[in-house]
Chains A and B, each alone.
Chain A
Amino acid sequence: MRKVVITGVGVVSPVGSGVEMFWSNLTSGRSGIGPITLFDASAFPIRIAGEVKDFELESITEQFPNSNGCRDRKVFLALAAAQEAVTDAKLSDGDLHRALLHMGVGLEAIRLEDLTPYADSSDFGHSIVSSLIDDQTDRMLQTPLDCASNILGRRYGLLAGRYTNCSACAAGAQVVGEAWQMLREGLAQVALAGATDSMLNPLGLGGFSLLRVLSDENENPQQACRPFDASRKGTVLGEGAAFVVLETLENALARNACIYAELIGYGSSMDAYRVSDPDNTGRGAIQSMNNALWAAGLKADDIDCVNAHGTGTLKNDVVETAAIKESLGRHAYDIPVHAVKSMTGHMIAASGALEAVVAALTIRHEVVPPTINLETADDECDLDYVADGSREFVGETVLSNSFGFGGQNATLILRRYA
């Protein structure tokens, strides 16, 4: 099996777009969460989120002309992050033509404003059809899930296979893991892997608020997401995109690429429990971590840091803590366990890819970003959550967890390349 390394990264996130700004803000403990400005959420029960700020859509459409006409925000977030990763890796056209694309995406949003003009129609369906089809507009009722993948595929000539993964909150980690597996097997030398999501629209925010997993601390947005804290009240929605360029070590060395870290393990599992809640026993989460350890050929004691899924929901944080302890044993108490969602919010499908970038940067810069807003830990959350600001990363390996709505789990393990 071939070794696989990360040679490029790209981020568009609520705490900063562009890897440099993102990392600076993240390690400074700056929250990206604030009042929602993308639409008027004043009558919604939840009015806060982690929005990507100062995002220049025009510059993206200029660079990706075939994105013209697309109205889905997450597509543009993806294009920006992917472009940064490709540029960062300094890939040649030849490398790109032989590259795989693994892309994680969230839900296809329906725009309510397209449909409200027909709310009073006696034949609602026919009215929608007339609106969207008979007048020959370019408006799509729903953006296809593979829209960003197709735009990137055409722009970069990616011909080795394009995968569109929709495994909810596990998608971002799964795309990195699946690409890793295919490179190890020799199916390609290079892969662009990443994910994007934005649920920050009326239907997306409304749907999540009905699930009662969001913090309603609208008056205190920057402190609203408090993973592992005893007073946590839920997660906060975020949006964004993150990409990594993965390469076989052989390919990276041959072209003298800059190596962030080596990806050495990936595991996934399913809870097979309930679509709405994590399994209280943490069985799926434990299995995911154990599968990644097995794939990496590591023991629990070899892990030096855990990038937790850490959503700030009542159930996740307790179950994840117990699962980390079960998987890593007593060693879990000796290593930092941090949750960047305290600053970014939950970027849903994109979160696992973003956290893979965080793990790579942790290794490269030897800094563990903090879990902010953690003042008094939950009695059942008794690990070292890096609550007192960033700290030096001492060690070689980082394990990153992503657990998805519906019961899909994924874990990545990265190691310093020496």
Chain B
Amino acid sequence: MVKNVVITGVGLVTPLGRSPREVLGRVGRGEVATSIPSFDVASFACPFCAPVVSFDAEECFCENKNLRLMSRDAQMAVVAAHIAMEDAYVKADETYASEEIALYGSTGVSSLSVEEIARIIEYAAGSDGSLDLKRFGQVGLKRVRPVLSFRILANMPICFVSIFENIRGQNAVYAPWEGQGAQAIAAGIRAIRRGDVPCALVGSCDVKTSELSFINLQQLGVFESWELHGKGCIPGEGAAFLVLEDAEHANKRGKRAYAKITDYAICSTAGDSSLKDTFSSTISKLKTNSIEAVVAAGDGDMTISESEQQAFEEVGLEPCELLRPKLHLGNLFAAAAAVQVGLAAELAGRGESGRPVLADCFGYGSEQASFALEGICAK
């Protein structure tokens, strides 16, 4: 018998709050987290970012010596994961054995700051500005902090989550876009459905508010909509984690779930098909006819917003409520999928119609996904 998978905990670190209730409230009031970056944006098509202001991981983990080894995205990941675990009242080796909790995550690209790169480069340059490997080997390497590797390896945020939460179960780390964040959620769902584990912590983190991230995004064409239409996606930062459980286990311990994940679909973008076709194909794979609400993917990028709207029309989707959180939070890229699903879980939990809520995880990169969630009455 296929196991039902429910969401029993949501932890967010976003520019507009740390719980789905808070984020939805602020989005509902029309708040927008956008601000002007601290670096010179004259060369970038996008002039804004959406930072998490005053983020301090020590609020949650005061004086933990691991914090100094961690990049900003990893710090956000451990905080969001901790909030999710507390929200679900799940503690490793108490609620479940640490080996019985799976951990699937995704991360964005490394988030070194310009200052950190400058420190490396300072003693790698010859007098004419060319790369001087002798100088770098003899002098520069001694000035590189040995902890650098812990800050730039893409799997580190998820490894830190495992250490902070004492999770030892099956795992994988994907990268670098929202679609891969959706794949991490799907991997957790499948692990529970297979019966491998009763519980999975799934989620992602990303920091796209730095100057180096802006360079990468501009080079990858993410800001094209800004160039063409004067509006587009606003890079944000944050982390989001979900606690998934086998519904039977959650019921047994009396934990009220936000929602049940009834279905999901992930599609790869084909070389010759449009985004609209891929979005339509993804949504139409879900076994849902009547929709209560959609947590939509539209992030201000004209192509993505229009393609999603056209996809709704093509598959005949007429949601009662359409929410576009990325217009308020910015686009959290790798972390966006777990935010989308977390918000959909809160909406589904509130719904009285019994109809599903969709969470669209559409955007950049080749992988597009959508999740269908239904609310669960309090036990």
Contact = CB atoms under 8 A, between A and B. Distances in A.
Interface of A: 39-45, 107-108, 110, 112-113, 115-120, 123-126, 128-130, 132-134, 140-142, 144-146, 149-150, 153-154, 157-168, 171, 174, 178, 181-182, 185, 202-203, 206-211, 267-276, 283-284, 287, 291, 404-408
B150 A276 contact: yes
5 contacts: A45-B141, A119-B124, A144-B216, A166-B155, A270-B162
A408 B171 contact: yes
B182 to A, nearest CB: 11
A166 B271 CA distance: 24
Nearest to B135: A43
Contact of B40 (A126, A203, A268): A126
Give 5 closest A-B pairs by Cβ, nearest first.
A43-B137, A406-B159, A119-B125, A116-B125, A117-B129
- Majority SS at the chain A contact face: mixed
Contacts of A120: 125, 129
A43 B134 contact: yes
A408 B168 contact: no
B273 to A, nearest CB: 9
Given A146-B176, A146-B366, A269 B170 contact: yes
Interface string B68-107: 0100000000000000000000000000001100010001
Given A119-B129, A125-B40, A166-B175, 20 more contacts: A43-B134, A116-B129, A116-B130, A128-B117, A141-B212, A141-B215, A146-B175, A159-B270, A162-B268, A164-B180, A165-B174, A166-B154, A202-B131, A206-B140, A207-B148, A270-B159, A273-B163, A404-B155, A406-B156, A407-B159
Contact of A167 (B98, B135, B173, B218): B173
B133 interface: yes
A269 B99 contact: yes
B280 interface: no
Nearest to B369: A161
B129 A167 contact: no
Given A283-B168, A408-B155, A275 B136 contact: no
B163 A133 contact: no
A133 B220 CA distance: 11
B366 A149 contact: yes
A203 B120 contact: yes
Interface in B114-172: 114, 117-118, 120-122, 124-126, 129-138, 140-141, 144, 146, 148-150, 152-156, 158-160, 162-163, 165-172
B220 A144 contact: yes
A210 B175 CA distance: 26
Interface of B: 39-40, 43-44, 66, 69, 98-99, 103, 107, 109-110, 114, 117-118, 120-122, 124-126, 129-138, 140-141, 144, 146, 148-150, 152-156, 158-160, 162-163, 165-177, 180, 183, 187, 190, 194, 211-212, 214-216, 218-220, 266-268, 270-271, 365-367
B141 A209 contact: yes
A107 B212 contact: no
Given A115-B121, A141-B219, A153 B366 contact: yes
A5 B256 CA distance: 42
Nearest to B131: A113
B129 to A, nearest CB: 4
Contacts of B173: 165-167, 408
A415 to B, nearest CB: 20
Contact of A116 (B131, B134, B171, B187): B131
Contacts of A44: 133, 137, 141
A120 B168 CA distance: 46
Contacts of A43: 133-138
Given A117-B130, A134-B43, A275 B124 contact: no
A159 B66 CA distance: 40
